[in-house]
Structure 1
Amino acid sequence: GILIEHFAGAFPVWLAPVQAVVIPIREHHNAYAEEVEAQLKAQGIRVEADLRDRNMRNKIKEHRQFLVPYLLVVGDRDMEERTVSVRLRTDEDLGAIPLDQFMQMIRELAQSNSMELTLAPQAGD
């Protein structure tokens, strides 16, 4: 109870019950959404793919209300380029990120017990 009050439900990545939700834009993106979900789960990430037959905007709004740290929207370009379009629970849009790069980022944040949702740029980046 104390942690919920302290974070007002907006848990850091390492503490969030669901760390990311994959949201396909259209039904034909479901297979890629499931693939992204499987790859993230294999890395120990707590993730769900929202394959319900609902409007994408409604899904985003709903999961933002649940304060899920990362909303991963996937569409045609993401399927072709093996990326995920990352939106933070703060509604900040990080744009399309290669799936491998996103997996590395979320793993590092979770393992470091960071309070941040993104990594600080490294020297030389």
Structure 2
Amino acid sequence: MREKLELSGFKTHLDLRNEKIGFKIREHTIAKVPFLLVVGDKEMENGTVAVRTRKGEDLGVMTQDEVVALFSRESESKGRSIDNDKSA
């Protein structure tokens, strides 16, 4: 998933710290990370990710292609080019 997003021009950060998932979600929500992708055992098995917005809204489980499409739509609606987001 990370590679697919980066190849599509999106910045990613992988948080592999040995912390509880609730703590990590809260921490990244406070930091206003635009989207959080959570990959647990079930998601790994199904090739999907759970998606949350910076406001804490749960968008449910999506495929990799659905996530890339969502990010592309969001980027276009904000009037930003993906390449400009790389330098942010």
Unaligned runs of 5+ in 2: 80-88
The alignment status of 1:70 with 2:58, answered yes or no, reads no
Q: What is the Cα-based RMSD across aligned positions, in Å?
A: 1.3
**Normalized per residue, which structure has more helix?**
2
CA deviations over 1:13-66 (Å, ceiling 9, x no partner): xxxxxxxxxxxxxxxxxxxxxxx2222111111111111121111111110010
Aligned match of 1:110: 75
Alignment of 1:82-93 (within 5 A): 82-93=47-58
Q: Given that residues 45 and 107 in structure 1 are in contact (C-alpha distance below 8 angstroms), is that contact kept between their aligned partners in structure 2?
A: no
Query: What's the offset of the Cα at 1:111?
Result: 2.9
Q: Which has the larger radius of gyration?
A: 1
Alignment of 1:23-42 (within 5 A): 36-42=1-7
Aligned match of 1:47: 12
Q: Secondary structure in 2 aligned to 1:85?
A: strand
Identical columns (%): 38
* TM-score (structure 1 length as normaliser): 0.58
Q: Given that residues 72 and 86 in structure 1 are in contact (C-alpha distance below 8 angstroms), is that contact kept between their aligned partners in structure 2?
A: yes
CA deviations over 1:77-113 (Å, ceiling 9, x no partner): 2112211101111111111011111111101221342
C-alpha separation in 2, matches of 1:94 and 1:53: 25
Q: Secondary structure in 1 aligned to 2:13?
A: strand
* TM-score (structure 2 length as normaliser): 0.80
Q: Given that residues 83 and 97 in structure 1 are in contact (C-alpha distance below 8 angstroms), is that contact kept between their aligned partners in structure 2?
A: yes
Aligned match of 1:100: 65
